[in-house]
Amino acid sequence: MISRGQAVVLVAGFLVLALVPAAAATLNEPFYLDLFRRIMIFAIAAVSLDLILGYGGMVSFGHAAYLGIGAYAVAVPAFYGIESGLVQWTLAVLASAAAALVIGAVSLRTSGMSFIMITLAFAQMFYYLGISINAWGGDDGMRLARRSRLPALDLADATVFYYVVLAILVGLLWLGHRLVHARFGIVIRATRSNEARMRAIGFSTFRYKLAAFVLAGAGCGLAGALLTNQTDYVTPSYMHWTRSGEIMVMVILGGMGTLVGPVLGAAAYLLLEDVLSAWTVHWQIVLGPLLVLVVLYARRGLYGLLPGSAPRDG
């Protein structure tokens, strides 16, 4: 469970996120609004991956496929004149969940390197599919004419969109907390530790893992829908394997199996990227050793550095 010290730090962190729009307006720096909104969108993708990587031990190297599917689920309907956010975002979640169902049904019958390579192969298939469809921009991608239309919410207003993303992030963390502390989460974690034993006592571990895989895909698909609205643009590069690697780094950097850790990891990764890229175009050379140091000396990631960190956390 979360200690009192961790709770204080986390509450303070979310209060800071809630005050970013006011601070950006005071400083007349709308850039910070875009930066922290982008951080939260990738935090949503990272939290969704943590459900299967941190809790289930499933090393999916194709998680960005759902990010791209969710992104295209907004851009393609908009291209044909369907601008309703309820339609676009629902399609993003359902299409990503359906893709995760198919990918999971195949990949979860394997383990280890085979599992990693199958998830990677599926993601690259979607990536090359995006490149090949010229009607939707091909390799150049396609622009979003206007952001999704939601009832009573104007996403064209940067502040409104910011709080929508924040609300979705908080909602996903709450849902994730309920899942990992329910019987579902207990089975997933126990399966990661000893799958043979769980099968021996009567649990259908394949079904549990597949359900987790589908939920993770759906969550990442929603992040993709938000990302398209954030950038007003979609490109097949969202589905490239390097994007999956970046999301995985965010999870590991922040702390696997902690839910909040991936939020910290996304913030640290993207803030470092922003600062270092302003100094040099070769910012990855500087970022790499920093990530290695975190992995070596903070075994539970940034989350493990919070006051009162316990050996395990739900």
Output 229 or 300, whichever has higher pLDDT: 229
Which of 50-59, 77-86, 284-293 has the weakest average pLDDT? 284-293
For the chain, the domains span 4-305
> pTM for this one?
0.93
pLDDT single digits (tens) 85-133? 999 999 999 999 999 999 999 999 998 899 999 999 999 999 999 999 8
Q: Is the pLDDT of residue 135 over 90?
A: no
* Cα–Cα distance list, 15 to 19, 22, 157, 163, 251 (Å): 6, 12, 21, 12, 22
User: Do the beta carbons of residue 239 and residue 127 sit within 8 Å?
Assistant: yes
CATH topology of domain 4-305: ABC transporter involved in vitamin B12 uptake, BtuC (1.10.3470)
Q: What is the pLDDT of residue 3?
A: 61
| Residue 149: its H or E element | strand 149-150
Q: How far is CA 192 from the centre of its chain?
A: 21
Taking residues 143-160, what's their average pLDDT? Answer: 91
- Residue 313's pLDDT band, with cuts at 50, 70 and 90, is very low
Q: What is the pLDDT of residue 292?
A: 82
